[in-house]
Chains A and B, each alone.
Chain A
Amino acid sequence: MPDAPLPDTVATAQSTPDTPQPYAELGMAQDEYARVREILGRRPTSAELAIYSVMWSEHCSYKSSKKHLRQFGEKAPASDALLVGMGENAGVVDVGGGRAVTFKIESHNHPSYVEPHQGAATGVGGIVRDILTMGARPVAVMDALRFGPLDAPDTRRVLPGVVSGISFYGNCLGLPNIGGEIGFGAGYAGNPLVNALCVGVMRHEDIKLAQAPGPGNKVVLFGATTGPDGIGGASVLASATFDDESHAKRPSVQVGDPFMEKLLIECSLELFAADLVVGIQDLGAAGVSCATTELAAGGTGGMRIELDRVPLRDPRLTPEEILMSESQERMMAIVEPAKLDAFLATCRKWNILASVIGEVTDVTPEEAERGGRLVMTWHGETVVDMPPRTASDEGPVYDRPYARPADQDALQADTPDRLERPKTDDDLREQLLRVLAAPGVCDPTWVTQQYDRYVMGNTVLATPDDGGMIRVAEDADTGIALAVDGNGRYTRLDPYAGTQAAYAEAYRNVAATGARPLAVTNCLNFGSPEDPAVMWQFAESTRGLADACQTLGTPVTGGNVSFYNQTGDTAINPTPVIGVLGVIGDVRDRLATALPAGADGARIVLLGRTAEEFGGSVWAEVVHGHLGGLPPKVDLAAEAALGELLAEAAEAGVLAAAHDLSDGGLGVAVAESALRGGVGATLHVTDAFTALFSESGARAVVVVRPESEDAFAALCERHGVPAAEIGTVGGEALTVTHPEGGFSVSLAELRTAYESTLPAVFDAE
């Protein structure tokens, strides 16, 4: 083994100002590098360069998106429920009874393409640690996934790998997976989307923040050891400086150990319960760099770290590699010296390695003015001496140019009006079955049965219901409902309206469980921000979401941006995934989607207005391969009225089932409810094509309890929600009649169409 290379110290940096540094290879622009030199008044050491390069990366600094994300705060509706807003690891909302909920969604797109299983697994691990870091017990996960076309060869590699990764990690952690959504499209072939959501529950007084107050307090790193995994750029530093080939071929995708994370969760919750930490941060992207700078910035601004005290999996790691390592399952805590022994004892109980690597220090007023002072040593030599706030809070902010894409007008002008509509009942029937079997619509059981939805014993609703619902505690009546939705086709046609439509769908999904929507998280998946057309989509999308949240009174509590989802110059359809969290006072009031068995003759009522809206619809895609025109109009007032109606109807117990209408329209919704209940339905409509396939928003289909028809009609009247009696429950088939005729499909045939699509691909040898 070669001798350990000499570290690039602050003293060396001062005496060798002209040493060339590989900032470009680390993804830093020349002016960003110049700014680092200006902040430090000298060239950065390799370790400092490592810290700035990761902290100022798009992923950590949100430098291209920040300008637009500010709207979520500026336009935030007044909400008494919001206890912790954006900027922390995750937002926290009050759900009553002294309990609070924290939730967030985050992308792990690029790693999931490179190595689907580990990429997706560590995506789950990362978001779960974010939730834990807030002081909450994680109680459920969900995910939104996008893949290339179902028949694309690479989809058979990526999808099973992603699903097995989520399954492996989430199941082993003991977190129920309560739902999500899955979609397919050509643009996602080289850019799958893996957006993982986690939700946690805590008492108000248990909220923890990423901060390091109190000079003299200890900085403790606990959890897994630090290895060379997930180091993208550090090897550039190492090889540029030392030409050490042994560092060359290292995995840039992290490897997850859910067992370690499970122990870390239980250990951390015990530490919190015993009040043994004053500040806590998880180690995710940018590892030790991020945790130390953010904790220091959130506290006194001062911290001293001895990097050689970080327990290593590979003793050859250099300081800059330790700083950039993304080894999973690690946390950093700030602990009062008097409580250190108790802290370490709890870690020992759970077999968790814990190491004191430094302490919080005081700063002079001058140092505070500069952004604090973070000092790191390596074998006694100072390798970092920098103001941490300049890395964590004062990164570059770009106002990237944006411009409406050149093809946008032509795309919107190519409306679905030109598409041939079904002429006969046979056409209607055949097209309904094709839409029902479409990859993004069909039964997701092949995927979801790989996830544990029962563990923890509080799952009230899970896939295939419209939203997932969790009882907040075993002895509580209160529940939370969650849904995530995104529609890249709508957003491509009109990013402002398409994003609002995704939000409205998630809102409606939550409402259809009987819960009242309360707060929003988002994961914004786009192409390159350096492309003005993509930036325009992003600007429109964020404006749409901020406006919609303001209108409906649900604040954005946090989220995540994923740029650079593109192959060559071709970006994915912009895919903002919106998560909505709602609250239900009594989980026993929840609404399920299944048609009630043994209730033949019960009335099926369609709520909301149906227009001829086929732009971006599943019908246009499946039957004609068409994407053009405008997405369905978004009517937020109608969504609010429908949501409140459903919540009150649930409380009043007047409904036997409810299902929101979205992808595919009424035909798909009723078919799904029929299959889940194992009972048929008869629908009477006028314009069968529009009735079955239009994707107009603010609609739901409900089954009214026979004894409550008058009460429900009065509720609809009061909320101004149009209610049309369109059919009845019963029989062994879905039957549709209209003035010119009608058709019927047996439940067995519906089931075959609905359930065969994914197994046909993924169970095939």
Chain B
Amino acid sequence: MTARVGVVTFPGSLDDRDAARAVRIAGAEPVALWHDDPDLKGVDAVVLPGGFSYGDYLRCGAIARFSPIMGELVPAARSGNLPVLGICNGFQILCESHLLPGALTRNKSLRFINRDVTLRVESTATAWTNRYTDGEEIRIVLKSGEGCYVADTATLDELERTGRVVARYAEPAPNGSRREIAGVTNEHGNVVGLMPHPEHAVEDLTGPSTDGLGFFTSLLAHLADGVPAAAGATG
């Protein structure tokens, strides 16, 4: 049975089509979900795509958090059952929803940055990274204005201690992220937030590599085989 992966479109979502393409290339069926409709349509997983939901007004992700679909998504994600990948603006929404700790703030240059970056995969014990190897370096796309990951020291220590840093920039973080963190996961390993865009590295023709495809094939492995079995070390 083909896995069905929902891609939520908020007003101002931009990379929703790209996320759907990546899902399709990985071999799953993308299902369009609409912010204003609480129906998750029985999907097996959800991608919150990049963009500027609600124009990034107030604060990135702060309004999207209150949209009807999030009312259904948040409890399912928090329970550990529903795999959710938040990319860029999606990561911001996950932080605003308190599904993930920390926050994303303005890049240290105060300017938008679009460049190819090398990430080091730090945790393969998640629904979205189990097909990578620990320490694997991947080349994907960073494009964001508010991509600087911040959290208090205790939270950062806790994330590192419990293996919940999913990926780091292999170079000094272009946006100033604390401890070069590019992505984190929750305690169950089903919810992953990532600032760079794996969905833009799925075709040789249009991306810097096809390294991003692993996020989506990892999901399929997770859905098919329950890999990883009990995600996330909890101490």
Is B205 in contact with A454, judged by CB distance below 8 angstroms? no
List residues of chain B with CB within 8 A of the CB of A455.
14-15, 18, 50, 143, 200
Contact with B along A437-460 (1 / 0, CB 8 A): 000000000001111111111111
Task: Give the residue of B15, B21, B55, B115 whose beta carbon is less than 8 angstroms from that of A449.
Answer: B115
Contact with A along B49-69 (1 / 0, CB 8 A): 011101111000000000000
List residues of chain B with CB within 8 A of the CB of A752.
none
Q: Is B178 an interface residue (CB 8 A)?
A: no
List residues of chain B with CB within 8 A of the CB of A460.
205-206
Q: Is B207 an interface residue (CB 8 A)?
A: yes
Q: Is B27 an interface residue (CB 8 A)?
A: no
Is B115 in contact with A257, judged by CB distance below 8 angstroms? no
List residues of chain B with CB within 8 A of the CB of A456.
17-18
How far, in whole Å, are A9 and B52 apart by their CA atoms in the complex?
45
Contact with B along A468-487 (1 / 0, CB 8 A): 00010010000000000000
Is B145 in contact with A471, judged by CB distance below 8 angstroms? no
How far, in whole Å, are A564 and B21 apart by their CA atoms in the complex?
47
Which chain B residue has the least Cβ–Cβ distance from A170? B112
- A454-B206 contact, Cβ under 8 Å, with A164-B111, A167-B112, A259-B11: yes
Is B141 in contact with A454, judged by CB distance below 8 angstroms? yes
How far, in whole Å, are A260 and B56 apart by their CA atoms in the complex?
12
Task: Give the residue of B11, B14, B114, B145 whose beta carbon is less than 8 angstroms from that of A351.
Answer: B11
- A259-B12 contact, Cβ under 8 Å, with A454-B197, A457-B18: yes
List residues of chain A with CB within 8 A of the CB of B50.
455
Is B15 in contact with A259, judged by CB distance below 8 angstroms? no
Range, interface on chain B: 20 to 34
How far, in whole Å, are A49 and B55 apart by their CA atoms in the complex?
38
Contact with A along B1-16 (1 / 0, CB 8 A): 0000000000110110
Task: Give the residue of B21, B57, B111, B143 whose beta carbon is less than 8 angstroms from that of A454.
Answer: B143
Which residues of chain B from 116 to 147 have any CB-CB distance to chain A below 8 Å in the complex?
Answer: 141, 143, 145
Instruction: Please give the number of chain A residues whose Cβ is less than 8 angstroms from any Cβ of chain B in the complex.
Output: 32
How far, in whole Å, are A448 and B143 apart by their CA atoms in the complex?
12
From A171, A257, A448, A454, residue with most partner B Cβ within 10 Å: A454
Which residues of chain A from 246 to 270 have any CB-CB distance to chain B below 8 Å in the complex?
Answer: 257-260, 262-263
Q: Is A402 an interface residue (CB 8 A)?
A: no
List residues of chain B with CB within 8 A of the CB of A449.
113-115
Task: Give the residue of B21, B51, B111, B207 whose beta carbon is less than 8 angstroms from that of A450.
Answer: B111
| 5 additional contacts (CB under 8 A) given A171-B112, A457-B17, A457-B203 | A171-B143, A172-B55, A263-B12, A455-B200, A471-B206
List 27 interface pairs A-B (beta carbons < 8 Å), by A numbering: A171-B52, A171-B112, A171-B143, A171-B145, A172-B12, A259-B12, A259-B52, A262-B11, A262-B14, A351-B11, A448-B114, A449-B114, A449-B115, A450-B111, A450-B112, A451-B114, A453-B114, A454-B18, A454-B207, A455-B18, A455-B200, A457-B199, A457-B206, A460-B206, A471-B205, A471-B206, A587-B205
Residues of B participating in the A interface, judged by any CB pair closer than 8 Å: 11-12, 14-15, 17-18, 21, 50-52, 54-57, 111-115, 141, 143, 145, 197, 199-200, 203, 205-207
